[in-house]
Amino acid sequence: MANSSLICREGEILIDSHIHLHEYGNEVGKYCGNSCLRLIAVSDDLESSKRTIELGKKCWNVVSAVGIHPWSVSEGANKYLNQVLELATEARFIGEVGLDKKFVPQTYERQLTVFREFLRIASEHGKGVSVHAAGAWSDVLRELERHDIKVAIIHWYTGPTDLLSSIRSLGYYIGVNPAIKIQRKMREVVKAAPLETLLTESDGPYNYRGMNLGPELISETIRIIAELKGVSEADVTEAIKQNFKSIMKELGINLI
Ligand SMILES: [Zn+2]
């Protein structure tokens, strides 16, 4: 039985809109079926997509997302793109997909081809998309808009604050990562972004500058958001829950 007290206060529901749950191995039980958490579990490639679909079936509080991470594109585009696209038509969500000009600019053309394939599926089948956009913030928005994507979460958004109004008017959301504790850019974004566009995420189990990212840090993330915006933690928790609820409603997923 999952011990929720380490993650949430009594009666609270926290949202992790971007977690690599398939990487947790035996520790998955901490989060799977944990009544205080709702998770969107993303994938990186074919194997993790299959594993994540299984987790989605097993864990009632998990929405599984399948995709090919821009860092995995060079391999995946050749070997298993079509298989993952097929899984994407069946999955409830698509991700982690996107574009990355910061860490892997050398594969940008291939990333664009793969990202567009997933957006086509998302658009045709009405799926939500969890998007990686490092260094390619405006490119990603252009593609989402062009493909008429209705539900998109730009994960760990540390892009320019002047794109926030477009993100809002397109009805998209941004993921606030626990890195906010030490990442100045994340704090600037949160100060500038309306609460109506925010979701929390962990990107766990990634290690960011010595921080072990995971759902345990979501409470702390909410505390920092509240402080930066001068509102109560309860208001932030509620706003994020409502944002998540709208996404689920739009996609016809009964989860919250
Ligand atoms: Zn990720």
Residue range 11-210+231-251, CATH number: 3.20.20.140
Query: Are residues 95 and 114 in contact, defined by beta-carbon separation less than 8 angstroms?
Result: no
Which residue is it, tokens 């709208």?
Answer: 246
Distance 234 CA to ligand 1 centre (A): 27
Distance 205 CA to ligand 1 centre (A): 9
Distance 20 CA to ligand 1 centre (A): 6
**121 CB neighbour count, 10 Å cutoff:** 24
pLDDT means per 10 residues, the chain with 256 residues, are 66 95 95 95 97 97 98 86 95 97 96 97 97 98 98 98 97 98 97 98 96 96 98 97 97 89
Distance 80 CA to ligand 1 centre (A): 20
Cα 210 to Cα 125: distance, rounded to the nearest angstrom: 39
Burial of 162 (0-12, 13-18, 19+ CB in 10 A): exposed
Residue 4 confidence (pLDDT): 58
Distance 124 CA to ligand 1 centre (A): 24
Distance 43 CA to ligand 1 centre (A): 8
Residue 1 confidence (pLDDT): 43
Distance 18 CA to ligand 1 centre (A): 6
Distance 147 CA to ligand 1 centre (A): 22
Distance 201 CA to ligand 1 centre (A): 9
Residue 89 confidence (pLDDT): 94
Output the CA angle 133-136-137, nearest 5 degrees. 70
Distance 11 CA to ligand 1 centre (A): 28
Give residues whose Cβ lies within 5 Å of ion ligand 1. 96, 203
Distance 208 CA to ligand 1 centre (A): 12
pTM of the model: 0.95
Cα 252 to Cα 127: distance, rounded to the nearest angstrom: 10
For 230, the 3-state DSSP assignment is: coil
Q: Structural domain boundaries of the chain?
A: 11-210+231-251
Distance 203 CA to ligand 1 centre (A): 5
Distance 206 CA to ligand 1 centre (A): 8
Distance 242 CA to ligand 1 centre (A): 23
DSSP class of 48: H
